[in-house]
Amino acid sequence: MTMKQIFNQLTRFSMVAAMAVTATVPAVMTAAAQKPYTIQDKWTVGGEGGWDYLAVDSATHHLFVTHGARVEVLDLASGKPVGAITGLKGTHGVAFDTNGKLGYISDGRANAVVVFDRTSLATLATIPVGINPDGILFEPVTRTVWTFNGGGKNATVVDSATQKVIGTVALAGKPEFPQADGEGNIYDNIEDKNEIVRIDAKAQKVTASWPACESPSGLAIDLAGHRLFAVCDGKKMAVVDYNTGKLLATPAIGDGPDAVSYDAKQKLVFSSNGEGTMTVIDASGSDYKAIQTLSTQKSARTMAFDEATGRAFLVAARFGPPPAPTAANPRPWPSVLPNTFVVLVAGHE
């Protein structure tokens, strides 16, 4: 997904972040009987340019971080650089097959999917897809790769066996982050329609659309509970039953979210918020209440979760002042300050 509103919200985030502190949590965190989450480490990545999604690869114990025209690959335990996938134009997301062998990058500016070997990090193929591929997903039942194309308002379907495009699915609006239920269904936020759609991966068609909340972006899934968690503008999260499409709750979160993760072991949901916080939601009952607000860093609005260790990884950087407006660009974006790009590691004892 794009870093929507990240730059024009910086002023507002600054005011919110100045007030953001690690919130007081109940004496007993009912969801997990554990100590509060803290920032346990900060890994300096450096370099230049913006970023979008990051992804945990449990098979190789690597963290893949999209970073401008490259994907940084870090050791999942230490944060030390393992390598990088380069020669790209503008990366958004990373997905992995279920064999532990191949990875797929949505290269938005190239309108392509880049296939790579997860061990050697060598690029194996470049596949033309739709306009500005953003969210990306490997669907295990059909063994297809799906890119959700923000510029084309559609999804491209790639056969992972042949690395060929086998279909295009029209969508009602701009797609954001997808999730799969492992039973042949894909769910995706439609940002400009304030809804979530369900797609039959085999039939390659939309089978349902449900209201969510304002401008949904990040999406997480609870397979056991049949729940979707969409983070939205207006400091809200939408909790949706993906069997019925019913909106179950809209708990409060921080401002400017762009990613959300679900911890199935602890029944917790994490929202990474651009204001400089991470909201922790108790999903063990029907109330979906926030049990902690962790201070992170302004602009840390994308995130990945490691199920093995229970740690969340967030990325952020510092920004310089925006350039002067012009007729061609009346609302210029501030640039990322070089060598300020970092990964924050959140966890608990």
Are domains 1-49+218-319+335-349 and 51-211 of this chain identical in fold?
yes
**Please, which pLDDT band fits residue 11 given cuts at 50, 70 and 90?**
very low
Per the rule left: phi > 0, alpha: psi between -120 and 50, beta: everything else, 35 is beta
Q: Please, are residues 301 and 274 in contact by the beta-carbon 8 Å criterion?
A: yes
Q: Indicate if the pLDDT at residue 32 is higher than 50.
A: no
Q: Indicate if the pLDDT at residue 8 is higher than 50.
A: no
Interval 297-345: pLDDT, tens: 999 999 999 999 999 999 999 999 888 888 888 888 788 999 999 999 9
Q: Among 18-22, 81-85, 223-227, 253-257, which is the least confidently predicted range? A: 18-22
Task: State percent of the chain over pLDDT 90.
Answer: 85
Average pLDDT over residues 216-232: 98
Average pLDDT over residues 217-238: 98
Question: Which amino acid belongs to residue 245?
Answer: G
HSE, side-chain direction, 13 A CA sphere, residue 122 = 3
Question: CA angle, 98 as apex, 93 and 104 as ends, to 5°?
Answer: 25
Residue written as token pair 């591929």: 133
Which residue(s) pair with 190 in the sheet? 175, 195
Average pLDDT over residues 79-87: 97
Which residue(s) pair with 295 in the sheet? 277
**Please, which pLDDT band fits residue 42 given cuts at 50, 70 and 90?**
very high
Burial class (CB in 10 A: 0-12, 13-18, 19+), 268: buried
Q: Where are the domains of the chain?
A: 1-49+218-319+335-349, 51-211
Question: CA angle, 300 as apex, 132 and 36 as ends, to 5°?
Answer: 135
Domain range 1-49+218-319+335-349, CATH class: mainly beta
CATH of domain 51-211: 2.130.10.10
Res 326: pLDDT: 87
Interval 175-217: pLDDT, tens: 999 999 999 999 999 999 999 999 999 999 999 999 999 999 9
pTM of the model: 0.90
Q: Indicate if the pLDDT at residue 12 is higher than 90.
A: no
Q: Indicate if the pLDDT at residue 13 is higher than 50.
A: no
Please count the other Cβ atoms lying within 10 Å of the Cβ belonging to residue 189: 31
- Between residues 345 and 13, the one the model is more confident about: 345
Interval 147-168: pLDDT, tens: 999 999 999 999 999 999 999 9
Interval 97-148: pLDDT, tens: 999 999 999 999 999 999 999 999 999 999 999 999 999 999 999 999 999 9
**Please, which pLDDT band fits residue 1 given cuts at 50, 70 and 90?**
low
Mean pLDDT of the chain: 92
Q: Indicate if the pLDDT at residue 3 is higher than 60.
A: no
Res 33: pLDDT: 53
Q: Indicate if the pLDDT at residue 27 is higher than 80.
A: no
